[in-house]
Amino acid sequence: MKNNLILASASPRRADLLKQVHIIPDKIIAAEIDESPLKGEVPRDLAMRLAAAKAHAVHEKNPGAFILAADTVVACGRRILPKAENPKDARECLELLSGRRHHVYGGIALLTPQGKLIRKLSDTVVQFKVLQAEEIENYIAGNEWRDKAGGYAIQGLAAAFIKSIRGSYSNVVGLSLYDTMQILNGAGYSAPAK
């Protein structure tokens, strides 16, 4: 019997990552939810809450399928960095991250066809080198930062800024493949044979 899998995400990076491990969702549906942090909410809790909220939002109209959702939160201490929408956001993020370690929290949520919610948090520590003003401006000019949590893409030019990483690389791109496969396999999802 074929399992239907819906990816509750508008992120093309998450779909590409899944394809890397031969998981092709039957549908991709962006969840329409408010992603604002709650008052006093810590970054790791925000990532977990948003992943679950996305899964529930898509599940309402798609019962009987596996719903996979994720959310990525970049944090410097307790400070949650935005998804950069303009050069000012990107510049502020990069200036804050320069020479510092930060956490990338990846919340993953899977709703099974029976309605059981399985959640997992992936935590990756990323160390940036000290960035020169010219490096920041050149990076911003390339537009790679647009709509990226923390204002950078590890899989692009920003790889040159990263001194070290502890944890899942794919989590920083947008989805921890190790954790996702553990959840899918544990829930009884089996990908169609190729």
Alpha helices in 60-132 (DSSP H): 87-97
Architecture of domain 5-186: Alpha-Beta Complex (3.90)
Sign of the torsion angle spanned by Cα atoms 42, 47, 51, 52: negative
Specify the pLDDT at position 2: 57
Return the SS3 of 109: strand
CA angle 76, 78, 82 (to 5 degrees): 60
Domain ranges of the chain: 5-186
Q: From CA 174, how far away is CA 20, in angstroms rounded? A: 13
> Known catalytic residues?
71
Across 130-136, average pLDDT = 97
For residue 1, name the pLDDT band (cuts at 50, 70, 90). Answer: very low
Convert the pLDDT of each residue in 18-29 to its tens digit.
999 999 999 999
Q: From CA 88, how far away is CA 183, in angstroms rounded? A: 38
